[in-house]
Amino acid sequence: MNTDDTAKHSAAGDTWRLAMQVWNAMDERHMGLIAAGVAFYTMFAIFPGMAATIAIWGVFGDPSVMHDYLEQIHGVIPDAAYGVLKDQLDALIAANTGSIGWTTYASLGVALYSVHGAVASLVNGLNAIHARGHRVGMLRVAASLLLTLAVLGLGLAALATVVFVPLILNFMHLGHYGAFVLVYLPWVVLFLALFILLGLFYRWGPTSESRDLRHSWASPGAFVAALLWIAASIAFSVYLTYFGAYNRIYGSIGAIIALLTWLYISAYILLFGAVLNAERARMRQPQ
């Protein structure tokens, strides 16, 4: 066997060993249970978050523009979940008075608390992955709040880019290339936003200060998780369209169950990327 064949077999063996370590770590550290908690908190945050966003947006502009933002993610979320969000969005826009009242502050408070709970659950998952303890006192709260603000800010920036960049491109007269760019731009922006967001989580989420875990934000786990999330979201949407029976099994709450399942899949993939980074780092450590 020549040197090239030996290198190929060695690479294949390392890849298989890494895959098995990731699989075992996901089970041993109860990532499925943590992902369920993240999905619950996220589900709890969506609707009050929408209410607060529309109320605040309605003071400064037309809240119906939120339809454009929601439409941009239609391709990567299940139709049932999209329908739930769209119906709620329509109801909130119809009821919007253009002023901020105590209900707005209450909705905003519930949304921030729930998003913070989801982020804190993710941080707990990252600490479990890296076998590290939690931050203590105000440091723990501050770290979770900063990550929460990063999530919200990056998400809004990504959505704004998807909506406004096509408007700018329409004035640039790109010809045949313009249609190509408009079709694929949302996917590129979505992938980059996910890649950066996951990189921030994997880089700054864990408590550990050790060099082996404080990897670059541009990590293999973030890249793989971003691709997996897009692929899994599309696959789940196709499954619900052609094979799913959520409404027949769960009745009127079938769409809610579909949305919760999608959130669970998303959280599980996010944690999978973190486990991939951790196990890859452990394999590279000298024995």
Q: CA torsion 70→108→45→74, rounded to 10°?
A: 0
Enter the tokens of residue 229. Answer: 């999330």
In-domain check, residue 169 = yes
Q: What is the pLDDT of residues 239-278, one digit of tens each?
A: 887 766 777 777 777 888 888 888 899 899 999 998 888 8
Q: Which amino acid is at 162?
A: V
In-domain check, residue 7 = no
Q: What is the pLDDT of residues 118-131, one digit of tens each?
A: 777 778 888 888 76
Residue 211 confidence (pLDDT)? 46
Residue 268 confidence (pLDDT)? 93
Residue 77, pLDDT above cutoff 50: yes
Q: What's the mean pLDDT when you consider all of the chain?
A: 75
User: What is the mean pLDDT of the segment spanning 45-55?
Assistant: 76
State the pTM of this model.
Answer: 0.79
In-domain check, residue 51 = yes
pLDDT tier, 80 (very low <50, low <70, confident <90, very high otherwise): confident
Q: How many domains does the chain have?
A: 1
For residues 9 and 2, give the distance between their C-alpha atoms in angstroms, rounded to a whole number: 11
Q: What string of DSSP letters covers 245-277?
A: -HHHHHGGGHHHHHHHHHHHHHHHHHHHHHHHH
The top-scoring range by mean pLDDT among 70-79, 164-173, 207-216 is 70-79
Residue 205 confidence (pLDDT)? 72
In-domain check, residue 9 = no
Residue pair 136/144 in contact (Cβ under 8 Å)? The answer is no
Alpha helical stretches, state H, 29-136: 31-60, 66-72, 79-95, 102-129
Residue 107 confidence (pLDDT)? 73
Residue 61 confidence (pLDDT)? 66
Residue 21 confidence (pLDDT)? 87
Lowest mean pLDDT among 32-36, 67-71, 139-143: 139-143
Residue 160, pLDDT above cutoff 70: no
In-domain check, residue 23 = yes
Q: What is the pLDDT of residues 88-101, one digit of tens each?
A: 888 877 776 666 66
Residue 5, pLDDT above cutoff 70: no
**Number of DSSP helices (H) and strands (E) in the chain, helices first:** 10, 0
In-domain check, residue 212 = yes
Residue 223 confidence (pLDDT)? 92
Q: 140 versus 264: which is more confidently predicted?
A: 264
Residue 210 confidence (pLDDT)? 46
Residue pair 82/16 in contact (Cβ under 8 Å)? The answer is no
For residues 81 and 254, give the distance between their C-alpha atoms in angstroms, rounded to a whole number: 9
Residue 264 confidence (pLDDT)? 92
In-domain check, residue 40 = yes
Residue 67, pLDDT above cutoff 90: no
pLDDT tier, 47 (very low <50, low <70, confident <90, very high otherwise): confident
In-domain check, residue 195 = yes
Domain region containing 76: 19-284
Residue 125 confidence (pLDDT)? 81
